[in-house]
């Protein structure tokens, strides 16, 4: 399986979870009665629901961490860049890889594309 397919396999469910989870939390907390202490629980759940977009960023960061990189390129820098920037980091990584991909597709180039994991 190509690595971009692996990314999609993890990213699609993560993004669906990030879309659905805040709605579920809002629906569940809407029926909570105003008991002492329940307000802090509702506030915590709402804060967690607002952070669900980070699920996709984490998946992208992990994917970038395990990609084969050029010599001198730090995997951890790409991981943290993916964690912070998400889809922007993914786009920049793929743009950086275009020259390597195009040289691999030319006759006489490497038979293995640089974005695939063995």
**Beta-carbon contacts of residue 78 (< 8 Å; ≥ 6 apart):** 61, 64, 65, 67, 69, 89, 93
> From CA 87, how far away is CA 103, in angstroms rounded?
25
Question: Average pLDDT of each block of 10 consecutive residues along the chain (118 residues)?
Answer: 84 88 77 62 73 87 85 83 93 84 66 50
What pLDDT, on a 0 to 100 scale, did the predictor assign at position 104?
A: 66
Secondary structure E strands in the chain: none
State the pTM of this model. 0.69
> From CA 38, how far away is CA 93, in angstroms rounded?
44
Four-point Cα dihedral 5, 63, 72, 113, nearest 10: -10
What pLDDT, on a 0 to 100 scale, did the predictor assign at position 58?
A: 93
């Amino acid at each position: 399986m190509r690595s971009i397919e692996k990314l999609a396999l993890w990213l699609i469910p993560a993004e669906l979870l990030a879309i659905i989870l805040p709605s579920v939390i809002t629906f569940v907390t809407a029926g909570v009665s105003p008991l002492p202490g329940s307000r802090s629980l509702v506030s915590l759940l709402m804060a967690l629901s607002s952070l669900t977009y980070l699920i996709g960023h984490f998946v992208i960061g992990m994917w970038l961490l395990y990609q084969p990189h050029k010599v001198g390129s730090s995997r951890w820098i790409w991981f943290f860049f993916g964690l912070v920037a998400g889809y922007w980091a993914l786009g920049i990584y793929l743009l950086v890889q275009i020259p390597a991909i195009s040289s691999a597709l030319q006759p006489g180039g490497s038979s293995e594309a640089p974005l695939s994991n063995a």
